[in-house]
Amino acid sequence: MDRTDRAIIDILEHEGRIANVDLAERVNLTPGPCLRRVQRLEATGVIRGYHAEIDPGAVGRGFEVMLDVDLARFDRESVDAFEQALAAFEEVAELHRLFGSPDYFVRIAVADLEAYERFLRDHVQTLPAVQRVSSRFTMKAIKR
Amino acid sequence: MDRTDRAIIDILEHEGRIANVDLAERVNLTPGPCLRRVQRLEATGVIRGYHAEIDPGAVGRGFEVMLDVDLARFDRESVDAFEQALAAFEEVAELHRLFGSPDYFVRIAVADLEAYERFLRDHVQTLPAVQRVSSRFTMKAIKR
DNA sequence: GGTGAAAGCTAGCCGGC
DNA sequence: GCCGGCTAGCTTTCACC
């Protein structure tokens, strides 16, 4: 992984759909070698995939909540069940296990307050190991 | 925005570099009309851009911290200065203004604990309006 | 929404350094 | 081992129906 690979990564991170010929020109390579580098970065897992960035409001995900969650039990089974259940929901935009307390940080993206209340009540509070949740509502997403 | 647009969005969100011919086939359209829809979604801001998803560890961003920040002042100038300064750093992966307390949620991604300490000391604690910061370290990113 | 044609891109192969 | 040139086949794009 050299300077050129870094340059390729920086460009693809912001312009994920750039044509290979244009990418090659930006990093001072011809298209052949440039494509080989991109494919190697993909194969080695440095590039994990490509995604369109969607306006959350346009698809009913304009209401975002930061959620702190504490569990009551930490046996492997409880932890796995909690993580898998939560990660499977489309409403869960982000899920991190933390050191210390709270045990988890979750970012939820739903349409509105009502949808949030429903999601919390029906899909989070009902998970067996969940002990405590604490919500903080986002006013504005400044950077993502 | 109809059912077909939704289908296009769902696919591009997960396969941002899919070829237009393949996308068209998946949503039962021919390439021409499919491309027009994608271009309209881009022009109206529903699709904001395309990004490669990079393995954080491979580019020195494997150490993630969730930061809560409270400000001392809320005049427009202080708020703007804080938000612009923070958003400009590459280390800031996410920045949300919240309702209530804390005032901000920030996700920081750096190489290691030492880099984090340096970033906090040199670039966050030094911002004039910052009153209090509280860090929570992530053990594992389960979903992003 | 579909069609067709021009322009442009991708991805493999091979030779050179 | 990595780059560049070349080429065949495919994709994108746009005007027109």
Confirm whether any atom of chain D, the nucleic acid strand, is less than 7 Å from CB of A20. no
Contact B16, B50 (CB under 8 A): yes
- Selected for mutation to probe chain A from B11, B136, B137 (highest A CB count within 10 Å) is B136
The pTM is what? 0.94
pLDDT tens-digit series, residues A110-141: 999 999 999 999 999 999 999 999 999 999 99
Contact A62, A43 (CB under 8 A): no
Q: How far apart are CA B46 and CA A73, in angstroms?
A: 41
Q: What is the mean pLDDT of chain A?
A: 97
pLDDT the model gives residue B139: 98
Q: What counts of helices (H) and strands (E) characterise chain B? A: 5, 5
Q: What is the mean pLDDT of chain B?
A: 97
pLDDT the model gives residue B36: 96
Confirm whether any atom of chain D, the nucleic acid strand, is less than 7 Å from CB of A29. yes
Q: Which residues pair with B134 in a beta bridge?
A: B68
